[in-house]
Amino acid sequence: MNETIQIDRVGGQGDGVGRGASGPVFAPLTLPGETVRGEVLDSRMDRPEIVVASPDRIAPVSPQYGDCGGCSLQHWASGPYLDWKREQVWLALGREGIETEIEPTVATPPGTRRRLALHARRGEDGRVILGFKARKSWRLVEVSACPVADPRLVAAFPALARVAEPFLEHPKSAPTLHVTLTLTGLDVDVTGVERKSGGLSGDQRMQAIRAARQADLARLSLAGEVLMMERQPLVQFGPATVAVPAGGFLQAVPEAEKAMVDRVLAAVKGARKIADLFCGAGTFTFPLATMAPVIAADATEPGIAALKAAVKSARGMKTIEAQARDLFRRPMTPFDLKGCDAIVFDPPRAGALEQTQQITTTKATTVVGVSCNPQTFARDARVLIDAGFRLETVTPVDQFLWSSHIELVGVFRR
């Protein structure tokens, strides 16, 4: 049924929300105050026509806007868009009954993202296309330009399509190229290749390696297995140069990483010993170690191995004690964290409930939570607050520009 509604707000997933004849209606790519018209099916208006536009609506910059599932808020002016991200943090905390100072959202500029996950498929004309998923669909939208990505990634798209072609050998393969721009060039890890039928054949492996060399990739790997490495992919964490593990995690935007590191360092200034939990390959560990000795722990053994190797060549740091440990199944206990007066934790989207419960019984007076999920952060924050901590401040960081995703740094004091 066609309806005309007014959009009241933007919901947590980035869709505009208004009230229709039968209740709330979700309309993508719309803004508060707009009047829109379209067919409503199952509480969704998937193709809204803008009848009256918001004064905050601006021209989108991506040629794939409206079709690609990413960057779904690029039609919103920067000020209200960043305020909305701050409001989402406020709402998440409010659901747990938490009140605190929430700083303005830290913005990141376009053209700075160093990591992309590019899906590869064969088009109807037989050529290989790279792109992102369409909104609410498995359909692939071919991408020729990406305004959020570092231009050096975009320039490599044609060569990356040639690298992707051998991985389409099996009809059931749906390869994804996880591309990272490092100090020594592009690092590509490919997932989604059919393995039940024997995996990639020897001939196609050689074709992939040949294409990777022609593309001047630093490294090419298949689900973490290195196929070709011309140069070790390197990144800089504080005073340390770290060799990135194949398929390893890295913050997507250097400017966002710096904003988070700066706030973490400011929060723990003066600490005598610091724990860095869910440390990865050392994003926070190495900057922290310029201030005090650090205990670092993470479940990923390659990340811990890379961290340990980098310790040997870094200068001007205090002692780093690193261990591979599943902090969900075996969280660090007060005994493990003995002497730590500051604790930093940066868990995946699921949060760190089990580890947070252990933190409450330590002697730490400062805890800093870094999160990519305000909901699980708020849940874990409630545990700390109930144990006697105060959430002093929260800073949202817009690492994933024009999306509904929000990073944040929260500082707790006992």
- Rounded to 10°, the helix 374-386/78-95 angle is 40
Q: Is 340 a catalytic residue?
A: no
Could you give the strand order of the β-sheet that contains 185-191, starting from the edge strand earlier in sequence? 140-142, 128-133, 115-122, 176-182, 185-191, 219-222, 225-229
The catalytically annotated residue of 71, 146, 340, 372 is 372
Q: How far is CA 97 from CA 87, 386, 407, in A?
A: 15, 11, 20
Among 193, 290, 200, 257, which Cα is nearest to 398's?
A: 257
Instruction: Measure the CA–CA gap between 120 and 142, rounded to whole angstroms.
Output: 9
Among 176, 110, 183, 186, which Cα is nearest to 145's?
A: 110
Instruction: Measure the CA–CA gap between 400 and 116, rounded to whole angstroms.
Output: 11
Instruction: Measure the CA–CA gap between 99 and 207, rounded to whole angstroms.
Output: 57
Phi, psi of 14 (to 5 degrees): 95, -5
Instruction: Measure the CA–CA gap between 411 and 391, rounded to whole angstroms.
Output: 6
- Give the distance from CA 340 to its chain's centroid: 28
CB of 284 within 8 A of CB of 307? no
Q: What is the DSSP string of 129-170?
A: EEEEEBTTSSPEEE-S--TTB-HHHHHTHHHHHHHHGGGG-S
CB of 111 within 8 A of CB of 396? no
CB of 28 within 8 A of CB of 15? yes
Phi/psi region, residue 21 (left: phi>0; alpha: psi -120 to 50; beta: rest), is alpha
Q: Which own/partner pairs from 43-50 qualify as long-range (CB within 8 Å, at least 24 positions apart)? A: 45/3, 45/5, 45/20, 46/136, 48/16
Among 317, 260, 261, 262, which Cα is nearest to 292's?
A: 317
Specify the amino acid at residue 24. Answer: P
In the block, tokens 């992309």 appear at 116
Residues annotated as part of the active site: 372
